[in-house]
Amino acid sequence: MGARQANRFFMTAEVIPAERAQQIGIVHEVVSEDALDSTVDGLIDALLAGGPQAQVEARALIARVSDGPINDAMINDTASFIARLRTGDEGQEGLSAFLEKRSPNWV
């Protein structure tokens, strides 16, 4: 949600319907009540399947690149950052698990 939308809803304290909340980026997904449990279970499964270190580092990467200019320095820094993760223990375990068609050791 951008600053203008935040200002409006902070000042009015109005209830935001689910579809509107999705439109302005407060929620990622809107599902029926019947689909809620299966949707949550699917998201949890996806989160648990990801490498814990990779997930933390991905959030850090997003924070690092979200406000800066896209220039050679940022591109090189990002490439180095990703290469470091791929060659680390967790990255190598994930790659091995993929190639061996098995679950990684963190699952």
Q: Considering its fold, how many domains does the chain have in total?
A: 1
Tens of pLDDT, residues 40-98: 999 999 999 899 999 999 998 888 888 888 999 999 999 999 999 889 999 999 999 99
pTM above 0.85, yes or no: no
Q: Is residue 33 part of a domain?
A: no
Q: Which domain holds residue 103?
A: 51-107
CATH of the domain at 98: 1.10.12.10
Q: Is residue 84 part of a domain?
A: yes
Q: Which two tokens stand for residue 51?
A: 């490498």
For residue 101, is it left (φ>0), alpha (ψ between -120 and 50) or beta? Answer: left
- Helix, strand, coil % in the chain, rounded to nearest 5: 70, 0, 30
Q: Is residue 37 part of a domain?
A: no
Q: Is residue 10 part of a domain?
A: no
Q: Is residue 65 part of a domain?
A: yes
Q: Is residue 41 part of a domain?
A: no
Q: Are 69 and 11 in contact (CB under 8 A)?
A: no
Q: Is residue 93 part of a domain?
A: yes
